[in-house]
Amino acid sequence: MLQRRSADDYGGEDVTKRVRTAVLAALIFLFVAATCWFLFVLVHSQSGEIAGALGGVIGGAIGAGGAGWSVYYALTKQREDEIEATSRAVLTEIMVLTKYLVGHLDLCEMIQGGLQLPKNQIHTVLLTPEPTLYSSVADKINRLPRPTQVVEFYTRMTEMTGIATLIANSPSEGPYITPDDIKGLADLLITQCQVAEAILSNTTPDPKSEAVLAQGLRAHVLGALRQQLAQAKQFFPESEAFH
């Protein structure tokens, strides 16, 4: 789904530096050991033996360097593949959840426009699937693209239930949700949609790894997001999310 990046681009500098340091230390150790052995042999050898020893040292150094680089490359590639797979999964979940948020924001606009919805139905109409990936990859969030916004997106998902409870128990007169009741929820959903748009529009698709269906879903969700946000600005021009 994303263009392949190095581990450093995902916030994994510390681990990468530790791997590099370990590989460099191993190479230095091997070089020093080989040099000491070569000097010992050089002192106690004839001219022919010296040439053979020199060739052995050079060959050993090349072999050790190649082996060290191979280990480093394998670890780096494995790490990048893991980050790539995690990113695709998280972004797909964000796209799915965003479709629900767009629908909820549309409902807020309809209530603002006069739709009568009983307060006791607010929890039902705001039903949204529970995120399943965030808790399992929380320790890897800093390696993903735009990690701060990813955390903000998932954190705000938990706020909807609390706001829905406030609306259901609103002291406003009558059994129906009023425009005043819905303002806090609308503000949360507008902000949530803005965060989702920033995440989805600032990660570049990689045609080699993102399927045509996933690309189409991303484009569809972004289009719906932008259209809904434009409408929300007309219904809720005073929302803090727009200032």
45 plus 138 within the same structural domain = no
Q: How confident is the model at residue 6 (pLDDT cuts 50, 70, 90)?
A: very low
Give me the mean pLDDT over the 216-227 stretch.
87
180 plus 134 within the same structural domain = yes
123 plus 15 within the same structural domain = no
118 plus 193 within the same structural domain = yes
**For all residues of the chain together, what is the average pLDDT?**
78
18 plus 134 within the same structural domain = no
125 plus 188 within the same structural domain = yes
95 plus 36 within the same structural domain = no
Give dist(CA 205, CA 145) in Å, integer. 12
100 plus 201 within the same structural domain = yes
109 plus 71 within the same structural domain = no
45, burial (CB in 10 Å: exposed 0-12, middle 13-18, buried 19+): middle
Residue 210 falls inside a structural domain: yes
Residue 2 falls inside a structural domain: no
Which domain-ending residue is among 76, 93, 115? Answer: 76
Residue 1 falls inside a structural domain: no
The total domain count for the chain is 2
Tell me the whole-structure pTM to 2 decimals: 0.68
> Which residue type does 38 have?
F
**Domain range spanning residue 129?**
84-242
> Which residue type does 223 have?
G
- Lowest mean pLDDT of 58-67, 176-185, 198-207, name the range: 58-67
Q: How confident is the model at residue 194 (pLDDT cuts 50, 70, 90)?
A: very high
Three-state SS at 176: strand
Residue 39 falls inside a structural domain: yes
